[in-house]
Amino acid sequence: MTASPRLSDATAEVVRPRSCGIVHLGVGAFFRAHQAAYTDEAARMTGETQWGIIGFTQRSNTVVEQLAPQDGLFTLVSKGVDTTSATVVGSVLGVRNAAADPAAVVEAIAAPSTHIVTLTVTEKGYRLDPSSGRIRLDDPEIAADLTGRPPRTVIGQLAAGLARRMVRDSPLTVLCCDNLPSNGRILSAAVAEFIAARATDDDLAAWVARRVTFPSSMVDRIVPATTEDDLAANERRTGLRDDALVVCEPFRQWVIEDDFAGPRPGWDQVGVQFVDDVEPWETMKLRVLNATHSVLAYLGALRGYTTIAEAMSDQDLEKICRTMVLRDIAPTVPGGMDVVAYGEQVRSRFLNPALRHTTRQVAMDGSQKLGPRLLGTVRDAIAAGGSSDMLALAVAAWCAFVLDETKAGRPLDDPLAEQLSKADSAADLLDIDSIFGPDLGPHSPFGARVIAWTDVVQTNSPSEWERVLT
Ligand code: CS2
């Protein structure tokens, strides 16, 4: 069989921007299905040509190898329960590897044509202490960036790029698109602490405070890892090979705090909501969607389910999620949000069988995800005298998963893998201060519930589940 030609400007007719107004850090599948897609549609809608995106991958070169030969073009396949649609997205004009070329990322952030830097580097990419949400200045890579080497962390890259912009007094919007509560404020604080610790740029901190904004945003779209089958189906359909293809659900949402330092694309024309305060949206999304996602991932994997849709179809797991959302989580979500309707919508999105989003994909990086999606809720529930028992079960599900993986000799996909794999019990895991802080450790009342629930999950006997779930 002769190989099909690659998707590229030579083989596809796609509307392209003329210059790059956006620098994106972390060119993963989520970015392509979300920010890149919205920006592409906004350009078609408004006819503006200055909002091309130059993307930087932070680690492996795979994305560069996928996208560069395709001139940044990729197919976005949206799979609903019984409808599939595909579009070629043209907003990405270039992709580079920041690790291989640290000067290029600093230059791109500093470029006069750049007005916005967006980020999807995942929770761990910020190198924060999960329990406090503050940057870990003792992280070896952060410490190395603080010495002034060409930066290799996103915080170091931002600080270096901003220092260059200060020379021209050129404002910038830095838009965090990761699943962290108050993500703009967290990022702004991390950059400020980094700059203060560098102590070489006396004026930079004050200039950043004046001329750079960090709007918080809530991003949402389920984007499973692309499979070989997805690539082959697209090649059969189009006659073109697209190694950068991304699969996603039809649903998407982007709510952004309206705090831009300069111009922005016509995102409002294509469904993006601009609000004064994004917190109610991000709190509901993290606490309902991401929290139940994690529970389904851990309990689902332990019950042998491959996909989230299979886990969501399990009656016990459905009941756990429902009780957790309605009883423990809903009272902690700011007023005005319809948690019941949102929870139902999330449930039907998770049930989408066309997506094949794996429990193991969602299970990764648990040490970084528990804080933003579960432990803040626990603290609020306890402070308000509410129930946190299903949240304890959710944390127990993570403990049981970690212990089970370690016992089975499967390497954990988590930045704290080494530390986690030394644990013999839920109590050992709860003792990790950087995750649980001093208040939710093994000797706290919440910790005791987690330990008890871990026993139930590990025993996994149908009669025991029936007893505790009725
Ligand atoms: C998921 C998220 O992998 C995970 O942890 O919970 O990536 C989730 O799919 C997105 O936040 C949906 O917007």
Could you tell me if 91 and 198 lie in one domain? Answer: yes
The total of structural domains in the chain comes to: 2
Could you tell me if 218 and 288 lie in one domain? Answer: no
Structure tokens at 142: 């952060």
Could you tell me if 33 and 149 lie in one domain? Answer: yes
Structural domain contains residue 206: yes
Domain final residue, candidates 275, 310, 339: 275
Domain final residue, candidates 275, 309, 343: 275
User: Does the CB atom of residue 290 touch ligand 1 within 6 A?
Assistant: yes
Q: What is the dihedral of CA 59, 96, 47, 115, to 10 degrees?
A: 80
User: Does the CB atom of residue 179 touch ligand 1 within 6 A?
Assistant: yes
The string of pLDDT tens digits covering residues 131-153 is 888 999 999 999 999 999 999 99
Could you tell me if 66 and 192 lie in one domain? Answer: yes
Structural domain contains residue 439: yes
Q: Please state, in angstroms and rounded to a whole number, the distance separating the CA atoms of residues 365 and 398.
A: 11
Structural domain contains residue 11: no
CATH number of the structural domain spanning residue 383: 1.10.1040.10
Ligand 1 atom nearest the C-alpha of 253 is: 13
Tell me what pLDDT residue 226 has.
97
Phi, psi (deg, nearest 5) at residue 142: -65, -45
Write down the pTM of the prediction: 0.96
Tell me what pLDDT residue 130 has.
84
Name the residue with the closest Cα to ligand 1, atom 4.
362
Tell me what pLDDT residue 234 has.
97
Could you tell me if 400 and 251 lie in one domain? Answer: no
Ligand 1 atom nearest the C-alpha of 220 is: 13
Separation of 20 CA from ligand 1 center, angstroms?
28
Ligand 1 atom nearest the C-alpha of 369 is: 5
Structural domain contains residue 2: no
User: Does the CB atom of residue 76 touch ligand 1 within 6 A?
Assistant: no
Q: Please state, in angstroms and rounded to a whole number, the distance separating the CA atoms of residues 197 and 148.
A: 11
CATH number of the structural domain spanning residue 172: 3.40.50.720
Structural domain contains residue 415: yes
Could you tell me if 268 and 355 lie in one domain? Answer: no
Residue 45 CA to chain centroid, in angstroms?
A: 27
Could you tell me if 349 and 439 lie in one domain? Answer: yes
Could you tell me if 219 and 242 lie in one domain? Answer: yes
Tell me what pLDDT residue 1 has.
57
Separation of 411 CA from ligand 1 center, angstroms?
21
Domain range holding 321? 279-469
Could you tell me if 133 and 159 lie in one domain? Answer: yes
Could you tell me if 56 and 110 lie in one domain? Answer: yes
Could you tell me if 68 and 89 lie in one domain? Answer: yes
Domain final residue, candidates 252, 275, 298: 275
Pick out the chain residues at pLDDT < 70: 1
User: Does the CB atom of residue 165 touch ligand 1 within 6 A?
Assistant: no
Torsion sign (Cα): 266, 271, 276, 281: negative
Ligand 1 atom nearest the C-alpha of 362 is: 3
Structural domain contains residue 4: no
Structural domain contains residue 9: no
Structural domain contains residue 221: yes
Which residue out of 32, 342, 362, 374 has the highest number of ligand 1 atoms within 8 Å of its CB and is therefore the one to mutate?
Answer: 362
Could you tell me if 347 and 265 lie in one domain? Answer: no
